[in-house]
Chain A
Amino acid sequence: MRQVTVGFVRFGAVFGVSMLVPIVWAAAVALGVWWGGWAWIAPVFWACFGTLALSRPVCRMFRALVARWTGTVIPAGYRQAAPVAQMSTGYWWNGFSYSRTSERAREEQRWRTRWSDPATWRDVRFTAIAPVTVIVPLLGLTLALVQRPLGIIVAIASAPFAWRLAEPLAVRFLRPSPAMALADRVEELTAQRADTTVAQAAEIRRIERDLHDGAQARLVSLGLSLATAEKLMATNPDQAKALLREARVGAAASLSELRELVRGISPPVLNERGLVDAVRASALDSPLDTNVTADLRQKLDPPIESALYFGIAELMTNAVKHAHATRAQISIVQRNTDIVVEVEDNGRGGASVRAGGGLDGLRRRLAVFDGTLEITSPAGGPTRARMLVPCESS
């Protein structure tokens, strides 16, 4: 009984939302007929305008209803308006034209974005499709005009089931179209590409600076020591010997400097053994008591391997530095075509992804491979981080 009541309530909701636009049109047509002559143009114009203005709220409500009843979340895919910027002339530029005030610029931009957004036209189309959900009860009512008892029975019997049509219909017609999904993807990739290029350039500059101030300078001083030693060999062998010893120490120092630099660019174990052993090796070096479990059936692409390795290294460093953990558990597994890496520590928790922070950087580096980062870190711990990167199985 309760289910039937719920069915009727939901029928009411679906009916209200999906019949809003048809009712506007019915009213427009009725007005046009009543006024007669050329006067019908005015109500039709207002109905068109009303459809355009109502389509987005109607679709929003429809999506909300579907999400509430069935849990199916349908992405809207509306285009976001770009920020409005004030130019040096004092005028505002909104990506299309100049305006005297920011309000005007924003309003104009809103209409332009809306007009050119394919989602707007999809929504308009959907306002025409939505009444299908209540078509059987409506037909029942129409039938009732001719054959009263049968029509009313059909209408009342079918009404509680009407809302069930809402989900398949919304999934089929309210989703972003492939073209819209592609446009979003292009936008996302453009942003990522810009990100990667900037990061790469910064990295190369860092390496250049390290080499310039470190190894190169040391080699120059090494050459100087050797040249001086050569000169002093005959006249002052003791001093020459001391210089040679100095040169040897300098050579060892520049080697260890280069080793650190290389480890930061591409850890040798990673090249020699792959991800799992490289993580094992860094777990051995870590002050944390670390347990590594791994189940990887294939060799990963070097860029993914490197991103995951440095991701794990960063999470481990955080565990030591910020969470004051003493133990960590790392697991690397392959689930279908995804690589899932989990890092859990016994620290004090409270980690979050802040814009511009270390974890945000990690998330962006993973995003390049369509990877994701999830952090659960309640205050008091433990922190659990999960990186997921899809990989083509070879």
Chain B
Amino acid sequence: MRILVAEDLYLLRDGLVRLIEAYGHQVVATATTGPETLDALLKWRPDVSIVDVRMPPTQSDEGLRAALEARRRAPGLPVLILSQHVEQLYARELLADGAGGVGYFLKESVFDADQFIEALERVAGGGTAMDPAVIGKLLASGSSNRKLDRLTEREHDVLSLMAEGLSNQAIGQRLFLSDSAISKYTTSLFGKLDITDDDNNNRRVLAVLRYLNK
């Protein structure tokens, strides 16, 4: 994969580049400010980009805004946002266009390098990847709460992992269950929540996120 790393802190940028290269991927460019990130995103059109939320010159949400702007001009451009904190508000903005190819993670998610690279690949393939912390907040709040109470504990687990962006197969591996068992759970939970099932995994994940975001 050709990857762009946009991060203003040298130590983190350097660490990310080393991690990516250790997994055999290529870093095509790095950026350290908001405007630089936007230019690099549009110029290189990388397979996936890792973008920090807070960057110079304003030290506000420069990175996030650059990513949203780039995706407005180049719909579906895969971007994974890394941040010291996760907000449902930002997750909503990232998911609003419904195009997929979006990831949103806490910075410490890189501690589990295997899973992080896996998520990066999923985003590059047009899928979504959400930090468990984001999904936890989505599940804990909002008006969809009452319907979620009808789910069994297992169905709840499956729903969370699905919302994080995992395929049936990957969910099965995490929960040590067979594929067929997972599809049984998904069918029943989709029925309980009135979401139409879709064979395409990405479209299904987006439907789940849209449901939780209501």
Contacts and interface: CB of A to CB of B under 8 A. Distances in A.
B152 to A, nearest CB: 22
Contacts of A286: 141
Contact of B85 (A259, A273, A284, A287): A259
A289 interface: yes
Contacts of A280: 89
Interface string A239-275: 0000000001001100110010011000011011100
A376 B46 CA distance: 56
B141 A259 contact: no
Contacts, number: 54
Contact of A251 (B53, B87, B108, B145): B108
Given A272-B61, A273-B60, A281-B87, A251 B140 contact: no
Contacts of A259: 84-85
A208 interface: no
Nearest to A252: B108
Interface residues of A, number: 21
B141 A255 contact: no
Contact of B88 (A262, A263, A273, A281): A281
A263 B86 CA distance: 11
Contacts of A271: 59-60
B37 to A, nearest CB: 15
Given A268-B84, A273-B61, A284 B142 contact: yes
B45 interface: no
A314 interface: no
A268 B137 contact: no
B122 interface: no
Contacts of A277: 89
Interface of B: 53-54, 59-61, 64, 84-85, 87-89, 92, 106-108, 111-112, 137, 140-143, 145
Given A271-B60, A286-B141, 18 more contacts: A248-B111, A248-B112, A262-B84, A262-B85, A263-B85, A268-B54, A269-B87, A271-B59, A272-B60, A273-B89, A277-B89, A280-B89, A281-B88, A281-B89, A284-B87, A285-B137, A287-B140, A287-B145
